[in-house]
Chains A and B, each alone.
Chain A
Amino acid sequence: MTEAVSALREPLVDGQKTLRAVTNDICRPLEGRPTRLWMAGFVVAVTMLIVGGASILYTMATGIGTWGLNPTVGWAFDITNFVFWVGIGHAGTLISAVLLLFRARWRTGVNRSAEAMTIFAVMCAGLFPLIHMGRPWLAFWVFPYPNDRGSLWVNWRSPLLWDVFAISTYFLISLTFWYLGLLPDLATLRDRARGGLRKTLLRVASLGWNGSTRTWHRYEHTSLLLAGLATPLVFSVHTIVSFDFATSVIPGWHTTIFPPYFVAGAIFSGLAMVLTLMLVARKVMALESYITKRHIGAMCKLILGVGGIVATAYATEFFIAWYSGNPYEQFAFFNRARGPMAGFYWMMVFCNVLVPQVFWFRKVRENLWLVFACSLLINVGMWLERFVIIVTSLHRDFLPSSWSSYQPTAIEVLAFVGSFGLFFTCFLLFCRFLPVIAIAEIKGVLGYARRGGAAGHEMASPARDREEVMT
């Protein structure tokens, strides 16, 4: 196989890795005892999960009144967290599906963990619409299923119902796509396992992968098909989430720009979260060779670009408020920028508009500490964005008599902390039990491939790798 190799383009994997080395690098952490760092992280994550779980149970047992809500501000932390987590869950599919379609090969280093992140983030996201209900034990009523309650049906006009379908579809497709991508690696792990329960479980989980050409062929085709299916979802999910607001009558919510605005915001926040996690993972799991500065640089550039879209959306909202001549709309935006919660708005602008601008500079992109700090700030900014949209629009709406304020209680803050606990617990378990990098795919972008098989291989093939391991 000949491939035009640029001498200028930086390699996607650093160092002269053999296929065996790649397999070993990625699989070994899964086969030994957990590191202390992992244990420490896991303890923290599980603690957060337990505390958050306790606060959620308390809320369910006592009432939503344990949150700082009121009739004017009926949603605050709950739906902010929901939209935040859905947003986080966007990068995975973007990276795995859209970049696959665009043949952006640098994605191979990060796609596995990005997809895992997607799934866990969507789980966290799904938690909040569930627990924000006054009677969460009846949450199953949002599903249209035949029933004997006079055959009560759901309201197809409600954006919340659209959410149910959008999120669950997204979750299922993402999970399928992720699992499909895992199959060759699960087979690798199965083959490396020395027997026992682990081997049995992996045997079942790898669905009898045998590495034949036919298997690979079908694998590649299914991946492509699923990528094609998942790509519209990247855009549809947050479009539909934005309908929760856009179809309402509340000034600051009732905005036609919301679908693209939300999609851009979601990708923006998702990339920032991927970046955050990648920077930690490459350090903790010693994967510097696979997640290189080139990956980081590419992510930074993507963030910069999407951040530009987000900033434009912010500006457009103000323009339209002015241009519409609608006094309620105008007030809503004056109130955002100068009202009692203006601090959150300007923090959001700082984090989401100003901070990404540093990525214009290569020096910054290569300074991983700075990149890490920026990615955290963008995460904060994107959470604030949703908080600003939800709370500052609600707290002062049409009738001044119902104007109100909002202050979270410790209980709902802890529920948010709990969602991070859930996310990190899942993510750490994932790091511990599944290969964080797609072994099969990363081999396709190894350095030897660039030099026409300098390391003695004709082509990068996981199938060969398997033989190599077996011999």
Chain B
Amino acid sequence: MGHHHTHGDAPDPGTPSRRDFLKLAGFSLAAVALPGCSRSEELAATFLMKPEEVTPGLAERYAAACSGCDAGCGLLVTVRDGRPIKVEGSADHPLNQGRTCPIGQASVLEVYDDQALRTPRLAGKETTWERLDAAVTQALAEARANGRGVRVLTGTQSGPGEQAAVRALLAGHADARHVMVDTPSCSALRKAYAAFLGAPRLPRYRLENAHELLAVDADFLGTWLSPVEMTRGYTAARRLEVGRAFCHHTHVEARVSLTGGCADRRIRMHPAQMLATIDTLADLVAQAQGGRAPWEHGDNGTDAAPWLRETAERLVKAPRGRALVLCGRDDVGTQQRVAWLNHALGADDAALAHRTIDLAYPSQQALGDDDELLTLLADLERGAVDVLVIAGTNPVHDHPEGERFRAALGRVKLTVAVTRQLDATASAATAVAPMPHALASWSDAEPVHGLLTLGQPTLAPWGQERPLLESLAAWRGAPQGAREQLREAWRATVFPLVEGAASFESWWARCVHDGHAVVPREPLPVAWREKAELTAPVSPPRGLLAIVHPTVALRSSRHAHNPWLQELPDPLTKVSWDNAACLAPATAARLGAGDGDVVRVTRGKDVVELPVSVQVGQAEDTVALGRGYGVLGTDRFAKVGPTWLEGEPTVATGEPVGVRTEALLGEPVVDIVRAGRRRPLARAQIYDRLDVPAHLAPRGQARRPHVQHTTLAAWREEPGAGAPHAHPDSGSLWDDDHAYEGAHWGLAIDLARCTGCAACVVACQAENNIPVVGRDEVRRQRDMHWLRIDRYFEGDGDDLSVSHQPMMCQQCDNAPCETVCPVLATVHSEEGLNQQVYNRCVGTRYCSNNCPYKVRRFNWFEYWQGSELAHLVLNPDVTVRTRGVMEKCTFCVQRIQARKAEAARSGTTWSDGDIQTACMQVCPAEAVVFGDMNDPQSAVSRAGAMPRAYRVLDELGVRPSVSYLRRVTDRESAPGSSPDAAARESHHD
């Protein structure tokens, strides 16, 4: 609980004092925001006497639940003067272990959404809660009396409190169901296990135990299931340590995903071939084990591709339980084959502690069932449902049959949408019940069997929003605060399991304080049925397929209103403020379409028109379309970005951001034609490759060595392998300008761990008040992100290598920016930082021109800092920059200064790891290390001294303070490491 301390105390972060405990426990009873208790306490008033635990200007930190997706990560929310301004992962939360994804980082901005609903609505008009409640209660009473259908449709709800609230609402109704749906869906995976275990179950993957990993169409690092948890496991399994196994990752996919880019071997495959590949693999594995896969299929592995043979061999050869096959296909039959395969490999072997699949303590992060949703739709259409409560999900947008859904809502007597936005579903509903942001309400979840998370409010709602739990209670006629409901549910169902707790109150206080609880639940029975009844798999046909996929930035329509996420460049395409139609170069050439040419993708009456983004490494005959775009209400972003003569609005008036593609879900065969228009995409990076164009390349030196890459085998042999030819540093004629007698701050970034997930980009944006500039400015390469991720493609087609390189100010010791500023607006600190003095800057931009890394950002206009309400998210420790000044990464100097001030005040000192930059703190891959380079024992010094360490553009003599650790993958050869480098050597000598 060490990190929960406020700045004001904490003599020793390791041992909580009784005072701390009481103080934090007391929060849940008496502090600023308690919407759950009683309405009267919501009054915001100035304190006459300062409460002991609240000091204006000092940050408080509270545990909360992440609302980014349903993975159930825990957060630690930084609250300044009663407003949450930043979230971090909760360090002791077992799933995310202190880290978040970009969406989790950005979720804090949604607290200050001035367009979010504030008042309940009935029949399209604003109303009062009394009237709305009366209408819903009456409709429910009538439905109960007449035995008519009542349905509750939500996203995944795994928490005992929330489930109990829904159950209580539906109790007493003859025809009542609670339907859950996930966007994106994992329904097929969960249902596949029903055949083997008797009931649907979502396996919990323990990637950290894997030695051999095959993923088929599963973007588990970017968008699938639980990306932060998976990333932590994945990078743990691929830790580069002498004498330690390195998990080999083979990836099969059609589009280029974040995960595919990280793989040691990426197989580009049309979706139509994937089932056959799994079948063949099952055969090969079964044969190796002296058996046969228990299903009929044409192929028996005789003509398997060499890579597949090798993969099968690797899977079988890996220690039992440590081989794992992940599959993201949305087909029960296919998933059953994969489940069988994993079982055959022993991945789910309960006897093995290091198993990679846990079925006894399964995941509950995606409980949705797509078939039930279709049943619900049928029920709606035949008029069997009188009352429908839709909470926190938007089927009209998210479901491919959204239009049918909307039409069917017309047949329901009363649809009430519990929502934050007037989205497509809410605008078709009879009643709209606004709910507060997750950081302003109580919530619970049980993402993994036996792991519960508890979300507490960190501020009061802005308007009349009411938490879902309270709405449900009001509608069943027993109004009760959300907190009370959760307490009751936890007291009844969870507390009895807890051992050694003194009282419920102390245990509950502990849960609120921690934000989560691990309880000793009974393991679920795992009785594997060898003779399972398998579902016939469905494979998409060969032909031009549409692949509608979640994007790393949005994942679904839920966060489409978040400008940080809309502006976040997609890690692969680098496109922001748009979704694109990604085509393989050959497919694009066949169409005669280039980047930015709009194409019309048609399946029957569903038409999607999107600009093309040509994507190397994508399977031919596929078109990949990001989902979560074209969301109702995102026309609000027309106002984002500067207005000037030649400026274009981010979106045209009345138009949403991007185009809705959900209608093409399910990999249908589509027609594509050019629409005859162009819409140049806003890309943060234009040139995609490390190789300079061949006709401009100096002989033998086409590849720029900024991303160094070597193979696992070479690294095992020689840890310094893969270094390009370099001239010895002949030193400087001049004395060093700076002594660095105190600290000398530095950063080390491990390219072998970085997945390119972009969490650091958003964390930096949140921490440092980085403005959103809008589509037109991004199109002009004027994105303001202090930390960007350079993404380079090498090779193409089957041989694609994707490298991600986080790039921020390198805080050079011989900084080229510092010498050229005429007014000394950028100067060197005693601790090695290149300080930018905003109020001295006159904006000549010479520093930016002279920066070899181009990491400086200029305020070309007075940029948008969000609505007035959104100004509340600004970090008060960081200056908001005005037009005409230069800015850049500061190594989060405000955090350094705060820690130093605290050390000075308390007469202590800081130790390594006390000061974390925002990018370091968020990184799920732990790829970023910050610290004092003067301390030889600091993590950053140790990383910088590794044989893998190098500095980008070291040869310029600018002496950057950021080290990169050479990327290591388990390939046969690494791009740029062998023939090219050899040629360079010979050229030089």
Residues of A within 8 A of B (CB): 58, 62-66, 68-72, 74-75, 129, 132-136, 138-139, 141-142, 152-155, 157-161, 164, 244, 247-250, 325, 327, 330-331, 334-335, 338-339, 394, 396-405, 409-411
Contact = CB atoms under 8 A, between A and B. Distances in A.
Contacts of B644: 62-63, 65-66
A71 B848 contact: yes
Contacts of A141: 823, 840, 842
Contacts of A160: 820-822, 844, 846
A65 B647 CA distance: 9
Given A142-B822, A248-B816, A334-B697, A400 B792 contact: yes
Given A71-B782, A334-B697, A404-B686, 6 more contacts: A65-B861, A75-B846, A132-B845, A135-B842, A139-B842, A401-B807
B841 interface: yes
B845 A401 contact: no
B782 A399 contact: no
Interface in B654-694: 685-690, 692-693
Contacts of B841: 134-135
B310 interface: no
A69 B857 CA distance: 12
B847 to A, nearest CB: 9
A131 B933 CA distance: 41
B737 to A, nearest CB: 11
Contacts of A247: 819-820
Contact of B645 (A66, A70, A244, A404): A66
Contacts of B685: 401-402
5 contacts: A72-B781, A133-B884, A158-B819, A249-B816, A402-B685
Interface string B814-851: 00100111111000000000000000111111101110
A338 B861 CA distance: 34
A451 to B, nearest CB: 58
B698 interface: yes
B706 interface: yes
Nearest to A342: B696
A331 B698 CA distance: 6
A75 B686 contact: no
Interface residues of B, number: 66
Given A63-B862, A72-B781, A399 B853 contact: yes
B842 A134 contact: yes
Identify the interface centre among B685, B689, B791: most chain A CB within 10 Å of its CB. B685
Given A249-B956, A398-B953, A64 B843 contact: yes
A402 B854 contact: yes
A133 B807 contact: no
B823 A142 contact: yes
B645 A411 contact: yes
A339 B647 CA distance: 28
Contact of B849 (A63, A74, A152, A338): A74
B687 A249 contact: no
B852 interface: yes
A133 B697 CA distance: 35
Contact of B687 (A157, A400, A409): A400
Contacts of A339: 693, 696
A63 B884 contact: yes
Contacts of B807: 399, 401
Contacts of A62: 642, 644, 861
A74 B858 contact: yes
A372 to B, nearest CB: 35
B857 A71 contact: yes
B790 interface: yes
Contacts of A152: 823-824, 840
Identify the interface centre among B692, B697, B821: most chain A CB within 10 Å of its CB. B692
Given A65-B861, A164-B822, A74 B696 contact: no
Nearest to B984: A327
B13 to A, nearest CB: 37
B244 interface: no
Identify the interface centre among A74, A164, A330: most chain B CB within 10 Å of its CB. A74
Nearest to B956: A249
Contacts, number: 197
Contact of A63 (B642, B788, B820, B845): B642
A40 B858 CA distance: 42
Contact of A398 (B647, B853, B860): B853
B467 to A, nearest CB: 43
Contacts of B382: none
Identify the interface centre among A138, A247, A249, A399: most chain B CB within 10 Å of its CB. A399
Interface string B342-360: 0000000000000000000
Nearest to A61: B644
Contact of A399 (B696, B816, B854): B854
Interface in B40-70: none
B645 A403 contact: no
B988 interface: yes
A87 B693 CA distance: 34
Contacts of B531: none
A410 B644 CA distance: 12
Interface string B125-148: 000000000000000000000000
B704 A71 contact: no
Nearest to A141: B823
Contacts of A397: 852, 854
Contacts of A72: 781, 854
A133 B958 contact: no
Contact of A158 (B782, B846, B988): B846
Contacts of A411: 645-646
B695 interface: yes
A59 to B, nearest CB: 10
Identify the interface centre among B696, B790, B956: most chain A CB within 10 Å of its CB. B696
A74 B646 contact: no
A398 B852 contact: yes
Contacts of B843: 64, 133-135
B452 interface: no
B885 interface: yes
Contact of A154 (B704, B823, B852, B857): B823
A303 B693 CA distance: 38
Contact of A404 (B781, B816, B846, B860): B781
Identify the interface centre among A129, A330, A402: most chain B CB within 10 Å of its CB. A402
B845 A69 contact: yes
Contacts of B821: 155, 158, 160
B842 A159 contact: no
A118 B638 CA distance: 48
Given A63-B883, A134-B886, A410 B842 contact: no
B701 interface: yes
B777 interface: yes
A79 to B, nearest CB: 9
B822 A327 contact: no
Contact of A327 (B693, B698, B845, B852): B698
B859 interface: yes
Given A133-B843, A250-B849, A404-B781, A338 B695 contact: yes
A71 B888 CA distance: 11
